[in-house]
């Protein structure tokens, strides 16, 4: 059994707490039958994600010539290749990198990401996995953690319910961009003259919905609009995708899908997203092989990604990531790297 000690000023105590927190996560997944994997950080291609900027670097071998490489924003493309080889249930706690994010207490361009895949399960099953992880972490605290509010079960709310409750918008009736944009403008929001549906959705969500989501218990916000492009499978007969995000005290810390298994649908998604990626500051080579890596079809599975630094921050009542990262990015760029 791993136990955490209360937060102390001692640098050693802080490092011990940090190490034991990660150890407890590994213990939960290992005991649950998941295999821990380790995949590349440098990649010659990435999945197109137009909402994310990436870091570019270059490989320069001893002989003439060089090759562009990118730091991965998530290990998804490599972990799915392991699934294609028959890996079964897998997880990873790895370093990931995202450029161009907001400068805020809960953002860092370099961060730790927990990603896991469960074969033969769907997105609602993955909520149970996350609840089990939280229960394990609460147990590992040994009664020392002051906040018991992280103990499962999680609250659950659909995106449709959240829009209706907090923005008074019937999202299912607003699947046309003009109608959704007009609903936002009626509520005093400033939207672009000709927004995309996704742009209108995010402006409304970030302004009228997200700040007012329930607090006090972790919240699984489920059934996102399928009009937002992701690799999540569409919920049959509905305008929703089988996706949820986890919020704790207003901070988003996890994202989970029932993975799309149709190779043609994945191919169309990658092509569409690759075109949108052209507007990003840093363009990268797109992983166009992903849709075809499963000779027998993509195994039915759910995939989850959880920010470990944010989770640790929230779990130990820290106000910023600087409370859990030994060398925060803000300290590195300002030259303040002398102390833990």
What is the domain extent for residue 282?
11-153+252-334
Asked if 199 and 205 touch (Cβ cutoff 8 Å), the reply is no
Q: In this structure, is residue 123 part of a structural domain?
A: yes
Rg, C-alpha atoms of the chain: 21
Q: In this structure, is residue 325 part of a structural domain?
A: yes
d(CA 182, CA 58): 46
Q: In this structure, is residue 209 part of a structural domain?
A: no
How far separated are the first and last CA of the chain, in Å rounded? 27
pLDDT at 7: 47
**What's the CATH number where 34 sits?**
3.30.930.10
d(CA 123, CA 222): 9
Q: In this structure, is residue 198 part of a structural domain?
A: no
Q: In this structure, is residue 193 part of a structural domain?
A: no
Domains: count for the chain: 1
Asked if 255 and 52 touch (Cβ cutoff 8 Å), the reply is no
pLDDT at 146: 44
**Of the candidates 280, 265, 192, the residue with the CA atom closest to the CA atom of residue 226:** 265
Q: In this structure, is residue 219 part of a structural domain?
A: no
Q: In this structure, is residue 228 part of a structural domain?
A: no
Taking only the tens of pLDDT, the chain with its 340 residues reads 555 655 456 778 888 888 999 999 999 999 999 999 999 999 998 887 767 788 999 888 877 778 889 999 999 999 999 998 899 999 999 999 998 777 778 888 899 999 999 999 999 999 999 999 999 998 887 655 545 689 899 999 999 999 999 999 999 999 999 999 999 999 999 999 899 999 999 999 999 999 999 998 999 999 999 999 999 999 999 999 999 999 998 899 999 999 998 888 888 888 888 777 666 665 677 887 887 887 666 788 999 999 999 999 988 888 888 888 888 777 777 666 654 4
φ and ψ of 268, to 5 deg: -65, -40
Q: In this structure, is residue 189 part of a structural domain?
A: no
**Of the candidates 57, 67, 54, the residue with the CA atom closest to the CA atom of residue 96:** 54
Q: What number of other Cβ atoms are within 10 A of residue 53's Cβ?
A: 18
**Of the candidates 5, 37, 38, the residue with the CA atom closest to the CA atom of residue 21:** 5
User: Strand 155-158 vs strand 219-225: parallel, antiparallel, or unpaired?
Assistant: parallel
């Amino acid at each position: 059994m791993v136990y955490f000690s209360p937060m102390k000023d001692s640098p050693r105590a802080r490092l011990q707490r940090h190490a034991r927190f990660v150890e407890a996560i590994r213990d939960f997944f290992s005991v649950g039958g998941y295999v821990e994997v380790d995949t590349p950080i440098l990649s010659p291609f990435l999945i197109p994600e137009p909402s994310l900027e990436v870091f570019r670097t270059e490989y320069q071998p001893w002989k003439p010539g060089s090759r562009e490489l990118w730091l991965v924003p998530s290990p998804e493309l490599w972990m799915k290749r392991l699934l294609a080889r028959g890996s079964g249930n897998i997880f990873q706690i790895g370093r990931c990198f995202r450029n161009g994010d907001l400068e805020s207490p809960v953002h860092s361009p370099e961060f730790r990401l927990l990603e896991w895949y469960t074969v033969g399960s769907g997105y609602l099953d993955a909520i149970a996995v996350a609840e089990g992880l939280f229960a394990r972490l609460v147990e590992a605290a040994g009664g020392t953690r002051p906040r018991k509010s992280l103990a499962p079960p999680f609250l659950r709310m659909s995106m449709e319910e959240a829009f209706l409750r907090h923005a008074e918008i019937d999202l299912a009736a607003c699947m046309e961009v003009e109608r959704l944009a007009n609903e936002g403008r009626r509520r005093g929001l400033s939207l672009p003259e000709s927004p995309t549906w996704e742009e209108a959705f995010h402006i409304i969500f970030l302004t009228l919905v997200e700040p007012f989501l329930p607090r006090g218990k972790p919240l699984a916000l489920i059934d996102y609009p399928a009009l937002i492009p992701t690799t999540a499978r569409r919920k049959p007969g509905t305008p929703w995708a089988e996706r949820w995000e986890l919020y704790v005290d207003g901070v988003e810390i996890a994202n989970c899908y029932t993975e799309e298994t149709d190779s043609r649908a994945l191919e169309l998604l990658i092509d569409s997203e690759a075109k949108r990626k052209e507007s990003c500051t840093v363009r990268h080579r797109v992983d166009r092989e992903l849709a075809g890596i499963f000779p027998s079809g993509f195994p039915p599975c759910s995939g989850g990604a959880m920010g470990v630094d944010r989770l640790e921050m929230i779990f130990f009542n820290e106000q910023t990531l600087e409370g859990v990262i030994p060398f925060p990015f803000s300290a590195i760029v300002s030259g303040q790297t002398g102390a833990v």
